A and B are shown apart, each in its own frame.
Chain A
Amino acid sequence: MLAWKDFNKKSLSGYIFLALIIFLLDYWPLFVPLKNIFNWPFQSLRESVYCLNNGDWQKIFSSGRTSSLEQENQKLKEERVRLIGEVALLQGLNDENQKLKSLIDFYPEDYHFLPAKVIGRSGDYLIINQGEKAGVLLGQLVVSAQHLVGRITEVYTHEARLVKLGSSLLEWPVLIFADQPDCFSNSIVCQKGRGIVSGQIIKEILREEEVAEGDLVVLLDDPAGILVGRIVQIWESQDKLFKQAKIEKLINPDRLTEVFLIVK
Protein backbone atom coordinates (compact mmCIF):
# COMPACT_ATOMS: atom_id res chain seq x y z
CA MET A 1 0.00 0.00 0.00
CA LEU A 2 2.82 2.30 0.92
CA ALA A 3 4.63 1.39 -2.25
CA TRP A 4 1.50 2.19 -4.27
CA LYS A 5 1.21 5.61 -2.56
CA ASP A 6 4.88 6.20 -3.22
CA PHE A 7 4.35 5.18 -6.81
CA ASN A 8 1.49 7.67 -7.09
CA LYS A 9 3.69 10.46 -5.86
CA LYS A 10 6.35 9.70 -8.46
CA SER A 11 3.59 9.96 -10.98
CA LEU A 12 4.54 10.65 -14.54
CA SER A 13 7.69 8.63 -15.14
CA GLY A 14 6.18 5.64 -13.33
CA TYR A 15 2.97 5.72 -15.32
CA ILE A 16 4.70 6.26 -18.64
CA PHE A 17 7.00 3.34 -17.82
CA LEU A 18 4.00 1.18 -16.91
CA ALA A 19 2.14 2.19 -20.08
CA LEU A 20 5.21 1.40 -22.17
CA ILE A 21 5.55 -2.02 -20.54
CA ILE A 22 1.88 -2.74 -21.28
CA PHE A 23 2.33 -1.44 -24.81
CA LEU A 24 5.29 -3.73 -25.44
CA LEU A 25 3.69 -6.75 -23.76
CA ASP A 26 0.64 -6.36 -25.98
CA TYR A 27 2.77 -7.52 -28.93
CA TRP A 28 2.52 -10.97 -27.35
CA PRO A 29 -0.87 -12.59 -26.70
CA LEU A 30 -0.45 -11.92 -23.00
CA PHE A 31 -3.50 -9.70 -22.60
CA VAL A 32 -5.80 -11.77 -24.78
CA PRO A 33 -7.59 -13.39 -21.81
CA LEU A 34 -8.11 -9.95 -20.29
CA LYS A 35 -9.44 -8.60 -23.59
CA ASN A 36 -11.75 -11.60 -23.91
CA ILE A 37 -13.12 -11.06 -20.41
CA PHE A 38 -13.55 -7.39 -21.15
CA ASN A 39 -15.16 -7.94 -24.53
CA TRP A 40 -17.65 -10.58 -23.47
CA PRO A 41 -20.12 -8.25 -21.65
CA PHE A 42 -19.63 -5.59 -24.31
CA GLN A 43 -20.36 -7.84 -27.28
CA SER A 44 -24.05 -6.94 -27.69
CA LEU A 45 -23.22 -3.32 -26.95
CA ARG A 46 -20.59 -3.38 -29.67
CA GLU A 47 -23.10 -4.83 -32.11
CA SER A 48 -25.54 -2.03 -31.35
CA VAL A 49 -22.81 0.54 -31.67
CA TYR A 50 -21.66 -0.98 -34.97
CA CYS A 51 -25.23 -0.64 -36.23
CA LEU A 52 -25.28 2.93 -35.03
CA ASN A 53 -22.03 3.68 -36.75
CA ASN A 54 -23.48 2.26 -39.95
CA GLY A 55 -26.52 4.46 -39.58
CA ASP A 56 -28.70 1.39 -39.05
CA TRP A 57 -30.83 3.00 -36.35
CA GLN A 58 -33.92 1.00 -37.33
CA LYS A 59 -32.32 -2.30 -36.38
CA ILE A 60 -32.05 -1.16 -32.78
CA PHE A 61 -35.25 0.81 -32.36
CA SER A 62 -37.52 -1.04 -34.76
CA SER A 63 -40.86 -2.53 -33.70
CA GLY A 64 -41.78 -6.20 -34.17
CA ARG A 65 -43.63 -5.54 -37.42
CA THR A 66 -40.80 -3.47 -38.84
CA SER A 67 -38.40 -6.19 -37.85
CA SER A 68 -40.38 -8.89 -39.68
CA LEU A 69 -40.59 -6.68 -42.76
CA GLU A 70 -36.86 -6.21 -42.66
CA GLN A 71 -36.36 -9.96 -42.41
CA GLU A 72 -38.64 -10.45 -45.40
CA ASN A 73 -36.72 -7.80 -47.29
CA GLN A 74 -33.45 -9.55 -46.44
CA LYS A 75 -34.85 -12.88 -47.69
CA LEU A 76 -35.98 -11.24 -50.93
CA LYS A 77 -32.52 -9.78 -51.42
CA GLU A 78 -30.95 -13.21 -50.91
CA GLU A 79 -33.45 -14.72 -53.36
CA ARG A 80 -32.53 -12.04 -55.89
CA VAL A 81 -28.84 -12.87 -55.57
CA ARG A 82 -29.64 -16.58 -56.07
CA LEU A 83 -31.70 -15.83 -59.18
CA ILE A 84 -28.93 -13.65 -60.62
CA GLY A 85 -26.61 -16.63 -60.17
CA GLU A 86 -29.05 -18.89 -62.00
CA VAL A 87 -29.39 -16.42 -64.87
CA ALA A 88 -25.59 -16.28 -65.17
CA LEU A 89 -25.48 -20.10 -65.26
CA LEU A 90 -28.16 -20.25 -67.96
CA GLN A 91 -26.31 -17.58 -69.93
CA GLY A 92 -23.15 -19.68 -69.73
CA LEU A 93 -25.01 -22.78 -70.94
CA ASN A 94 -26.52 -20.75 -73.77
CA ASP A 95 -23.06 -19.50 -74.80
CA GLU A 96 -21.72 -23.05 -74.78
CA ASN A 97 -24.70 -24.16 -76.86
CA GLN A 98 -24.02 -21.41 -79.40
CA LYS A 99 -20.36 -22.38 -79.66
CA LEU A 100 -21.22 -26.04 -80.18
CA LYS A 101 -23.74 -25.04 -82.85
CA SER A 102 -21.10 -23.05 -84.71
CA LEU A 103 -18.71 -26.02 -84.50
CA ILE A 104 -21.32 -28.39 -85.90
CA ASP A 105 -22.01 -25.97 -88.76
CA PHE A 106 -18.32 -25.63 -89.59
CA TYR A 107 -16.87 -29.11 -89.24
CA PRO A 108 -17.74 -32.32 -91.12
CA GLU A 109 -20.52 -34.39 -89.65
CA ASP A 110 -18.27 -37.22 -88.54
CA TYR A 111 -16.43 -34.95 -86.12
CA HIS A 112 -17.56 -34.71 -82.52
CA PHE A 113 -16.49 -32.31 -79.81
CA LEU A 114 -15.65 -32.71 -76.20
CA PRO A 115 -16.05 -29.49 -74.22
CA ALA A 116 -13.40 -28.68 -71.62
CA LYS A 117 -12.66 -25.81 -69.30
CA VAL A 118 -9.25 -24.18 -69.14
CA ILE A 119 -8.14 -24.45 -65.53
CA GLY A 120 -4.62 -23.11 -65.73
CA ARG A 121 -1.65 -22.16 -67.84
CA SER A 122 2.08 -22.33 -67.53
CA GLY A 123 4.45 -21.09 -70.18
CA ASP A 124 3.56 -22.62 -73.54
CA TYR A 125 0.96 -24.92 -72.00
CA LEU A 126 -2.70 -24.73 -71.05
CA ILE A 127 -4.29 -27.14 -68.60
CA ILE A 128 -7.82 -28.36 -69.18
CA ASN A 129 -10.22 -30.17 -66.88
CA GLN A 130 -10.73 -33.25 -69.05
CA GLY A 131 -8.40 -36.22 -69.05
CA GLU A 132 -8.13 -39.90 -69.71
CA LYS A 133 -11.49 -40.57 -68.01
CA ALA A 134 -13.25 -38.38 -70.57
CA GLY A 135 -11.44 -40.02 -73.46
CA VAL A 136 -8.80 -37.39 -74.13
CA LEU A 137 -5.95 -38.71 -76.30
CA LEU A 138 -2.40 -37.59 -77.00
CA GLY A 139 -2.14 -35.43 -80.10
CA GLN A 140 -5.78 -34.44 -80.08
CA LEU A 141 -6.48 -31.00 -81.50
CA VAL A 142 -8.09 -28.35 -79.34
CA VAL A 143 -10.17 -25.61 -80.91
CA SER A 144 -12.28 -22.64 -79.96
CA ALA A 145 -14.96 -22.24 -82.63
CA GLN A 146 -13.02 -22.31 -85.94
CA HIS A 147 -9.74 -21.26 -84.33
CA LEU A 148 -6.95 -23.62 -83.42
CA VAL A 149 -5.96 -23.45 -79.74
CA GLY A 150 -3.33 -26.20 -79.52
CA ARG A 151 -2.56 -29.89 -79.35
CA ILE A 152 -2.74 -32.28 -76.39
CA THR A 153 0.73 -33.36 -75.24
CA GLU A 154 0.13 -34.85 -71.80
CA VAL A 155 -2.92 -36.72 -70.52
CA TYR A 156 -3.69 -37.42 -66.88
CA THR A 157 -6.73 -39.09 -65.32
CA HIS A 158 -8.81 -35.95 -64.91
CA GLU A 159 -6.62 -33.31 -66.59
CA ALA A 160 -4.65 -32.78 -69.75
CA ARG A 161 -1.97 -30.37 -70.92
CA LEU A 162 -1.88 -28.88 -74.37
CA VAL A 163 0.75 -26.90 -76.20
CA LYS A 164 -0.66 -23.54 -77.17
CA LEU A 165 -0.81 -22.20 -80.67
CA GLY A 166 2.21 -19.94 -81.12
CA SER A 167 4.59 -22.21 -79.25
CA SER A 168 7.74 -23.22 -81.10
CA LEU A 169 7.38 -26.71 -79.61
CA LEU A 170 4.98 -27.70 -82.37
CA GLU A 171 5.11 -27.49 -86.15
CA TRP A 172 2.01 -27.54 -88.30
CA PRO A 173 1.67 -27.81 -92.10
CA VAL A 174 -0.54 -24.90 -93.14
CA LEU A 175 -2.33 -23.49 -96.11
CA ILE A 176 -2.32 -19.80 -96.97
CA PHE A 177 -5.26 -18.26 -98.77
CA ALA A 178 -6.69 -14.85 -99.52
CA ASP A 179 -8.97 -13.22 -96.99
CA GLN A 180 -11.94 -12.82 -99.32
CA PRO A 181 -15.61 -13.71 -99.07
CA ASP A 182 -16.35 -17.40 -99.69
CA CYS A 183 -12.68 -18.33 -99.45
CA PHE A 184 -12.95 -19.41 -95.85
CA SER A 185 -15.43 -22.19 -96.61
CA ASN A 186 -13.57 -23.17 -99.77
CA SER A 187 -9.95 -22.50 -98.94
CA ILE A 188 -8.51 -25.05 -101.34
CA VAL A 189 -9.79 -23.03 -104.32
CA CYS A 190 -8.50 -19.71 -102.98
CA GLN A 191 -5.17 -21.05 -101.81
CA LYS A 192 -2.07 -18.97 -102.40
CA GLY A 193 0.62 -21.09 -100.85
CA ARG A 194 1.71 -23.62 -98.29
CA GLY A 195 4.21 -23.68 -95.50
CA ILE A 196 5.08 -25.00 -92.09
CA VAL A 197 4.21 -22.89 -89.10
CA SER A 198 6.51 -23.03 -86.09
CA GLY A 199 5.80 -20.61 -83.31
CA GLN A 200 4.61 -17.49 -85.05
CA ILE A 201 6.69 -17.96 -88.20
CA ILE A 202 5.65 -19.77 -91.39
CA LYS A 203 8.68 -21.39 -93.02
CA GLU A 204 9.25 -23.00 -96.41
CA ILE A 205 6.82 -20.93 -98.46
CA LEU A 206 7.90 -21.29 -102.06
CA ARG A 207 9.26 -18.09 -103.58
CA GLU A 208 6.88 -18.16 -106.52
CA GLU A 209 3.81 -18.34 -104.31
CA GLU A 210 1.94 -15.04 -104.18
CA VAL A 211 1.35 -14.76 -100.48
CA ALA A 212 0.64 -11.30 -99.11
CA GLU A 213 0.13 -9.55 -95.81
CA GLY A 214 -3.41 -10.03 -94.57
CA ASP A 215 -3.74 -13.55 -95.99
CA LEU A 216 -5.29 -16.12 -93.71
CA VAL A 217 -3.52 -19.26 -92.54
CA VAL A 218 -5.36 -22.52 -91.89
CA LEU A 219 -4.35 -26.07 -91.03
CA LEU A 220 -3.60 -28.11 -94.12
CA ASP A 221 -4.97 -31.39 -92.95
CA ASP A 222 -6.67 -33.46 -90.29
CA PRO A 223 -9.00 -31.61 -90.23
CA ALA A 224 -8.32 -28.98 -92.86
CA GLY A 225 -9.54 -25.43 -92.58
CA ILE A 226 -9.02 -24.69 -88.89
CA LEU A 227 -7.86 -21.08 -88.57
CA VAL A 228 -4.32 -20.57 -87.36
CA GLY A 229 -3.81 -16.85 -87.90
CA ARG A 230 -3.22 -13.97 -90.30
CA ILE A 231 0.00 -13.01 -92.08
CA VAL A 232 1.38 -9.66 -90.93
CA GLN A 233 4.89 -9.69 -92.40
CA ILE A 234 6.72 -11.49 -95.23
CA TRP A 235 10.44 -11.76 -95.99
CA GLU A 236 12.88 -13.99 -97.84
CA SER A 237 14.76 -16.68 -96.00
CA GLN A 238 18.55 -16.41 -95.66
CA ASP A 239 19.19 -19.06 -98.28
CA LYS A 240 16.90 -17.14 -100.71
CA LEU A 241 15.11 -20.38 -101.57
CA PHE A 242 11.95 -19.78 -99.58
CA LYS A 243 9.86 -17.03 -98.16
CA GLN A 244 9.01 -16.70 -94.52
CA ALA A 245 6.06 -14.97 -92.94
CA LYS A 246 5.07 -13.84 -89.51
CA ILE A 247 1.54 -14.50 -88.36
CA GLU A 248 -0.65 -12.96 -85.71
CA LYS A 249 -3.06 -15.10 -83.78
CA LEU A 250 -6.74 -14.31 -84.19
CA ILE A 251 -7.51 -15.47 -80.66
CA ASN A 252 -5.56 -15.14 -77.45
CA PRO A 253 -5.23 -18.64 -75.94
CA ASP A 254 -4.35 -17.12 -72.57
CA ARG A 255 -7.80 -15.53 -72.31
CA LEU A 256 -9.80 -18.65 -73.15
CA THR A 257 -11.97 -20.27 -70.52
CA GLU A 258 -13.66 -22.91 -72.62
CA VAL A 259 -12.28 -25.03 -75.47
CA PHE A 260 -13.36 -28.06 -77.48
CA LEU A 261 -11.39 -31.19 -78.25
CA ILE A 262 -11.96 -32.68 -81.68
CA VAL A 263 -13.05 -36.30 -81.52
CA LYS A 264 -13.02 -38.22 -84.78
Chain B
Amino acid sequence: MTKSNFTWSILVLVLFLTAFLEAVLIPFPLTLVLIIILAFYYGERVFVWAFWVGLWQDLLSWRHLGSWSIIFLITVYLINHLKYRVFGLNQEKLSLPD
Protein backbone atom coordinates (compact mmCIF):
# COMPACT_ATOMS: atom_id res chain seq x y z
CA MET B 1 0.00 0.00 0.00
CA THR B 2 1.45 3.33 -1.03
CA LYS B 3 1.63 6.26 1.35
CA SER B 4 -0.97 8.13 -0.68
CA ASN B 5 -3.42 5.23 -0.56
CA PHE B 6 -2.83 4.76 3.15
CA THR B 7 -3.55 8.43 3.82
CA TRP B 8 -6.63 8.25 1.67
CA SER B 9 -7.89 5.16 3.55
CA ILE B 10 -7.43 6.91 6.87
CA LEU B 11 -9.31 9.95 5.60
CA VAL B 12 -12.20 7.79 4.39
CA LEU B 13 -12.32 6.07 7.79
CA VAL B 14 -12.33 9.45 9.52
CA LEU B 15 -15.12 10.51 7.18
CA PHE B 16 -17.29 7.56 8.19
CA LEU B 17 -16.50 8.08 11.88
CA THR B 18 -17.41 11.74 11.59
CA ALA B 19 -20.73 10.82 10.00
CA PHE B 20 -21.34 8.42 12.88
CA LEU B 21 -20.52 11.09 15.47
CA GLU B 22 -22.73 13.61 13.74
CA ALA B 23 -25.65 11.21 13.53
CA VAL B 24 -25.54 10.10 17.13
CA LEU B 25 -23.83 12.76 19.19
CA ILE B 26 -23.16 16.18 17.78
CA PRO B 27 -25.93 18.14 16.07
CA PHE B 28 -23.48 19.97 13.84
CA PRO B 29 -22.78 19.23 10.14
CA LEU B 30 -19.26 17.95 10.77
CA THR B 31 -19.33 15.55 7.83
CA LEU B 32 -20.31 18.31 5.43
CA VAL B 33 -17.39 20.42 6.61
CA LEU B 34 -15.04 17.47 6.17
CA ILE B 35 -16.48 16.74 2.72
CA ILE B 36 -15.86 20.37 1.72
CA ILE B 37 -12.25 20.18 2.87
CA LEU B 38 -11.66 16.84 1.13
CA ALA B 39 -13.37 18.05 -2.04
CA PHE B 40 -11.07 21.04 -2.13
CA TYR B 41 -7.93 18.95 -1.78
CA TYR B 42 -8.89 15.74 -3.57
CA GLY B 43 -11.36 16.97 -6.18
CA GLU B 44 -13.45 14.45 -8.06
CA ARG B 45 -12.03 11.52 -6.13
CA VAL B 46 -14.35 12.41 -3.26
CA PHE B 47 -17.51 11.75 -5.32
CA VAL B 48 -17.65 8.04 -4.57
CA TRP B 49 -17.12 8.51 -0.83
CA ALA B 50 -19.51 11.44 -0.63
CA PHE B 51 -22.15 9.10 -2.02
CA TRP B 52 -21.46 6.22 0.40
CA VAL B 53 -20.95 8.41 3.46
CA GLY B 54 -24.25 10.10 2.65
CA LEU B 55 -26.04 6.74 2.64
CA TRP B 56 -24.27 5.72 5.84
CA GLN B 57 -25.37 8.92 7.57
CA ASP B 58 -28.95 8.55 6.32
CA LEU B 59 -29.08 5.06 7.78
CA LEU B 60 -27.64 6.20 11.10
CA SER B 61 -29.80 9.25 11.50
CA TRP B 62 -33.07 7.68 10.24
CA ARG B 63 -33.35 10.17 7.44
CA HIS B 64 -34.75 9.59 4.01
CA LEU B 65 -32.27 7.36 2.22
CA GLY B 66 -30.19 9.23 -0.39
CA SER B 67 -30.84 12.74 0.93
CA TRP B 68 -27.40 13.27 2.47
CA SER B 69 -25.78 11.64 -0.57
CA ILE B 70 -27.40 14.21 -2.85
CA ILE B 71 -26.39 17.06 -0.54
CA PHE B 72 -22.77 15.85 -0.33
CA LEU B 73 -22.48 15.24 -4.07
CA ILE B 74 -23.84 18.68 -4.95
CA THR B 75 -21.47 20.22 -2.39
CA VAL B 76 -18.49 18.41 -3.90
CA TYR B 77 -19.55 19.54 -7.36
CA LEU B 78 -19.88 23.18 -6.25
CA ILE B 79 -16.50 23.11 -4.52
CA ASN B 80 -14.88 21.71 -7.66
CA HIS B 81 -16.67 24.23 -9.85
CA LEU B 82 -15.59 27.13 -7.65
CA LYS B 83 -12.04 25.84 -7.52
CA TYR B 84 -11.56 25.41 -11.25
CA ARG B 85 -13.87 27.93 -12.84
CA VAL B 86 -14.15 30.78 -10.37
CA PHE B 87 -10.78 30.75 -8.66
CA GLY B 88 -9.01 29.41 -11.75
CA LEU B 89 -6.90 26.88 -9.90
CA ASN B 90 -5.10 24.36 -12.06
CA GLN B 91 -7.12 21.17 -12.29
CA GLU B 92 -4.19 18.95 -13.26
CA LYS B 93 -2.16 19.85 -10.21
CA LEU B 94 -4.97 19.17 -7.77
CA SER B 95 -6.30 15.99 -9.35
CA LEU B 96 -4.91 12.80 -8.03
CA PRO B 97 -2.83 10.66 -10.37
CA ASP B 98 -4.53 7.71 -12.06
Contact = CB atoms under 8 A, between A and B. Distances in A.
B59 A18 contact: no
Interface stretch (B29-37, B64-72, B86-94): B64-72
Provide the main secondary structure of the chain B interface: helix
A12 B66 contact: no
A23 B65 contact: yes
Contact of A12 (B24, B64, B65, B77): B77
Interface residues of A, number: 24
A217 to B, nearest CB: 63
Interface string A38-74: 1100100110010011000000000000000000000
Interface in A14-28: 15-16, 18-26
Interface in B52-74: 54-55, 59-60, 64-67, 69-70, 73-74
Chain B interface category by residue count: 20 to 34
A246 B66 CA distance: 68
Nearest to A26: B65
B51 interface: yes
A255 interface: no
A19 B25 contact: no
A35 interface: yes
Given A19-B69, A22-B55, A52-B25, 12 more contacts: A12-B76, A12-B77, A15-B73, A16-B74, A18-B51, A20-B66, A22-B66, A22-B69, A31-B65, A39-B59, A42-B60, A49-B25
Nearest to B98: A9
A39 B13 CA distance: 20
